[in-house]
Amino acid sequence: MSTSADYDSPTTGDDRWRDDRPISEQGENVCVIGAGASGLCAVKNLREQGFGVDCYERETGVGGAWNWRHDRSPVYASTHLISSKPFSQYPDFPLPDSWPDYPHHSQLLAYLERYADHFDLRRHIWFGTEVVRVEPAPGDRWDVTTRSAGGNGAQRTQRYAAVVVANGHNWAPRLPDYEGLSDFTGQVIHASAYHDATQLRGRRVLVVGGGNTGCDIAVEAGQQAARCWHSTRRGYWYTPKYLFGRPSDQVNAGLLARRLPRWLRQGVLHRLLRLVVGDQTRFGLPAPEHRVFDAHPVVNSQLVLHIGHGTVRPVPDVARFRRHTVQLADGTEVDPDLVVLATGYQPQFDFLDPRVLGVDADGRPRLHLHAFAPGHPTLSVVGLVQAEFGVFPLVHWQSVMVARWLRARSADPAATAALAARIEAGAGRPWHDAKVTDPARRWFEVSHVTYLRALQETLDSLEVAAR
């Protein structure tokens, strides 16, 4: 197991310098990396615990992935939430009642901007500043090196009492390495480069990927493209946004509120989907290989409709690319002139030595509760979760937990020893209720209720420690 001492190696005997760089001491202040949805609530909850905070954001505004003006934003013109309002808001800052059940991405950005203004967070954010390195320092502190975004200007190193990483996990595209891809004469883009339907109009489009983004783009291609193929590797459960006139996640939440066991909730949802969607194999879609809730849901009310209309044709996984065509796993070939790879994103922590977070060959950090890094009690990650409902409530309570942990530890380290031992023992434990398909890609999925209960148990432990 790695500890701070393994990396703590200033080049001189004076700990005010590291590698010939002067270090500016920031006392008990905390550094937050990123001013998206996770970073904003981390700043707010750290401030409420009395910490001074410096938040570094490489872009010029708040919102992270939800700010479509940012180069790394994955949102496209038609993006709406797939979780309804009760699960898409911070518990202490509700979305407006007048907004629709599933707000547009521009509305969510406005919500985040109002959140930042309401809690006076902007004055703690250094915009246009990127974090270059985060390095352990003596006494469980951290040296954070920053520079102006774009690589211009001198670097500056400051020493903080703690670091909270909230840089998001939907900005670094995961690109598959298909045989023959480099020889293909058509255009190939990742979904991160998709902005609006004009890119699809009149073209022969192959959309690769069965997640929510892939399904959304396939639907738009079905409306705008001359032809659309939708390639998926496996079968999925396609959940409509409404069941019985209510948002489907609220229907599921109602079943949870009645404390029905998981197997019974799965049975009820299976019957409902059979009733509402029908036998999806009839539409040429593969049957799901997992039960509902065993993987992140695909929430889409229109894909089956467009398949039924013949404007979207479901096809198997891609086997290889040829010069002018794409061969599929069943041996058939299609001839798109545009391929959209909706193949997801890979979390990245370029500013940290991979050993600090225990990152494995699949890019998975070894964390307790997806937040705490063993051996580094003053380093936390916020927002590295994905749930069947929205993540805003989870991120809020996760950042509350981190803030209270740092406060309790600074006030009385001995009182938090039991939780520190739990962090060491629980690192890497999954927080979902069933075996998730494709664990190498879905390792940060959590079950909403299971994870919230674990956060509550930790918060209760911290409250006891603080007495």
Question: Strands 338-341 and 238-239, how do they pair?
Answer: unpaired
Predicted confidence band of residue 373 (pLDDT cuts 50, 70, 90): very high
DSSP state of 292: T
Q: What is the pLDDT of residue 2?
A: 35
Taking 90 as the threshold, does the pLDDT of residue 279 lie above it? no
The CATH 3.50.50.60 domain(s) of the chain lie at 4-172+345-466, 181-341
For residues 423-433, average pLDDT? 79
**Higher local confidence (pLDDT), 166 or 346:** 166
Taking 3-state DSSP, the helix, strand and coil percentages for the chain, each rounded to the nearest 5, stand at 35, 20, 45
pLDDT given for residue 423 in this prediction: 83
The pairing of strands 326-328 and 318-321 is antiparallel
pLDDT digit string, tens, across residues 139-162? 999 999 999 998 778 899 999 999
- Give the confidence band of 288 by pLDDT, cuts at 50, 70, 90: confident
- What's domain 181-341's architecture? 3-Layer(bba) Sandwich (3.50)
Return the minimum-mean-pLDDT range out of 4-13, 76-85, 280-289, 301-310.
Answer: 4-13
**Over residues 262-276, mean pLDDT:** 84
Is 6 a residue whose pLDDT tops 80? no
User: Is residue 12 pLDDT above 70, yes or no?
Assistant: no
> Which residues, including other chains, have CB under 8 Å from residue 326's CB and lie 6 or more apart?
184, 206, 318, 320, 333, 334, 335, 336, 339
* CATH architecture of residue range(s) 4-172+345-466: 3-Layer(bba) Sandwich (3.50)
DSSP labels, 181-217: GGG--SEEEEGGG--SGGGTTTSEEEEE--SHHHHHH
Which one is predicted more confidently, 63 or 18? 63
Predicted pLDDT of residue 339: 98
